[in-house]
Amino acid sequence: MLRITMIGSGAIGLSVLSLLKNDPDVSIDSVIVAPDTLDQAREQVGAIAPQAQVVTGLAEVAQRPDLLVECAGHGALRAHVLPALEQGIPCVVVSIGALSDVELARQLEEAAKRGKTQVQLLSGAIGGIDALAAAKIGGLDSVVYTGRKPALAWKDTPADGQFKLEALTEPTVIFEGPAGEAARLFPKNANVAATLSLAGLGLDRTQVRLIADPTSKENVHHVQASGAFGSFEITMRGKPLAANPKTSALTVYSVVRAIGNQAHAVAI
């Protein structure tokens, strides 16, 4: 039985709980939430996993977990993942966009080393990460990521104001440049670019193109990579999570898969 403490009871966390509640090899023992959401979280988590203890920090968890699973956003890495790694607790992280902060990425690695454990970065909404990471070993020359979303999905970003999003009639490039700059300017859209960068050429050499498309009703991720291995292209048209249209459903499934790979007898 794999005993898990999860961070977050938002759309991703609750969806993961629902998908795992009947897995005989997994026990969600506790869920860490922000203090101002404690009462609501206890009600929501209790409806799905009544055995789970809902707390505000790792120190309150009754039994040391076998795995800490982060589903809460960038701030959770500093608040909860770093201390867990220092204590030797392995962690799974969804909010990879936070690692566009090179110093935070270094701190996570150092904490894992000191704790003699490991932090696993999930693929989330994008596929092909296994192929990209393998290609890096032989030598990568180029990685280009194109993210396409409906025009109004870019509201409240730097594109809002630079472009009249509501008036666009055709696909428009709103950003083109290195992944590090894309993550800084568009932090809520940073996870895919950061994931590709960490698996491949890094934040400075991974190229990003972001498109506001008034003709699209879905989020489209396109990756082109080439190097000594040859080349590949992958296009993913992600359906949103029903509980939160800003989140890809595949992100939830990637969390469940990662947990299953640690809990089950066979992993792939």
Say whether 125 counts as a known binding-site residue: yes
Integer angstrom CA distances of residue 199 from 91, 92, 140, 179: 18, 16, 11, 12
- State the Cα–Cα distance between residues 195 and 190, nearest whole angstrom: 8
- State the Cα–Cα distance between residues 212 and 208, nearest whole angstrom: 13
Whether the Cβ atoms of residue 158 and residue 186 lie closer than 8 Å to each other: yes
- State the Cα–Cα distance between residues 76 and 78, nearest whole angstrom: 6
- State the Cα–Cα distance between residues 15 and 53, nearest whole angstrom: 17
Is position 221 annotated as part of the catalytic site?
A: yes
- State the Cα–Cα distance between residues 258 and 263, nearest whole angstrom: 9
Catalytic residue among 74, 221, 222, 264: 221
What is the DSSP code string of 107-154?
HHHHHHHHTT--EEEP-TT---HHHHHHHHHH-EEEEEEEEEEEGGGG
Interior angle at CA 35, CA 51 and CA 120, nearest 5? 65
* Core vs surface per residue 187-197: b (16+ CB within 10 A) or e: bebbbbbbbbb
Q: Which two tokens stand for residue 173?
A: 């490039």
- State the Cα–Cα distance between residues 104 and 23, nearest whole angstrom: 33
Say whether 191 counts as a known binding-site residue: yes
The catalytic site residues sit at 221
- Residue ranges for the binding site? 125, 191
- Residue ranges for the binding site for NAD(+)? 125, 191
